[in-house]
Amino acid sequence: MRYRTIGQQAVSAIGLGAMPLSIENRPDEKRAVATVHAALDAGVTLIDTADSYHWHAGETGHNELLVARALARYWGDTSGVLVATKGGRGRPGDGSWTVTGTPDHLKRAAEASLKRLGTDAIGLYQLHKPDPEVPWAESVGALRDLLDAGTIRAAGISNVTTDQITEARGILGDGLVSVQNRYSPAVRDSEAELRLCERLGLAFLPWSPLGGISRSSLEGASGPVSEGTAFHEVASERGVSPQQVALAWLLARSPVVVPIPGAGRPASIRDSAKAPGLELSDEELARLE
C-alpha cells in the first residue's frame, strides 16, 4: 500500500468509505465487520464514517459504533488507523437528510461521536455540510472550539466551495487538514476546490469516487451494469477492474487526493486497495479525460 498525508498523519492512499455498512440494504454485522477487516488486511489505514450513516430513526451513530466494534475485534495493530467522522447532518428515518450546523449541535454531536468511537480524541472531525441557516463562520468556529478543547485532533469540511474553504482556513489555520467533496469520473465539478486544496496543502477526499463506474462487475455484486467508457476499455486492456482504473485516475489527479470508495463486502475493498499499485500512462490518462 502507498501512503499520502492528512495533516501530519500518513494514511493509505485509498480509504474505506464505511457508509454502505449502515444505510439502506446494509449487510449483516458479520459481513460488515469482515469488510472492515478486509480493508485493514489490505493495508487501508483511513476509515470514513459519520454519525448520520444509519438507516432507521433512532439509530444515530450506527456506523460509528460498527466501526469501533470492528476495530476492537481486529487481530492486528490498529494504532495507525485514522477514523474520520462527520457531524452536522441527520436522518429522521424517512429516507431524507437534514442539515444542522449550529455550534451547540456540532459540539454535542462531536462529544457523542467521541464516546461511540471510544477514543481519547477524534482523529479527524469533519463538518458534513454547510447549513444555509447558520453563518458559515459560526459553524466553523465550533470546530475551532473542539480543537482547542482537545475533543478533536484535526478538522475537515465537506460539500464546500472555494470561498468556504478559504474562510475556514482563516478560522482554523493549520487545524484544517481536509476537504471532502464529491468527485468522480461522472462528476468533476469540484476541480477548483481540488486545486485550492493542492495550493493550501489540504487533503482532498473525493466521496462517491466511483460515480459512473458500476460495482456490478465485481464478484457477488449486483446492480446496473455500466460499460463502454474509456475506464472500461483501459481496464480490459490492463486486466483489472474499471473501479481500479477510476481510483488510479483520481490518485493521478493530484498528490493531495485520497479517495474513500464505499464498500459493502470484502471483495469490493480488496479490489479498491489495489488501485495505488496501478500506474496509468500519459496516453491512458489522456483517454480518461
Asked whether 274 and 243 are in contact (CB, 8 A), the reply is no
So what's the pLDDT on residue 221? 44
What distances in angstroms separate CA 97 from CA 57, 90, 285, one per listed residue? 11, 6, 36
Give me the active site residues, please.
Answer: 53
Distance between CA atoms of 223 and 272, rounded to whole angstroms? Answer: 18
CB 144 within 8 A of CB 124: no
pTM: 0.94
Sole residue written with cell 490498529: 78
Helix (H, G, I), strand (E, B) or coil at 89: strand
* Phi (first) and psi of residue 81, to 5 degrees: -85, 130
User: What's at 247, amino acid-wise?
Assistant: L
Q: Residue ranges of the domains in the chain?
A: 3-224+246-279
Question: Domain 3-224+246-279: which topology?
Answer: TIM Barrel (3.20.20)
Taking the C-alpha atoms of residue 65 and residue 76, their distance in angstroms, rounded to an integer, is: 19
Residue 215: per-residue pLDDT: 58
The pLDDT score that the predictor gives to residue 212 is 86
What is the predicted pLDDT for the residue at 283?
97
Instruction: Give 10-residue mean pLDDT values along the chain (289 residues).
Output: 96 98 96 98 98 94 98 97 97 92 98 98 98 98 98 98 98 98 95 98 97 63 60 95 97 98 97 98 96
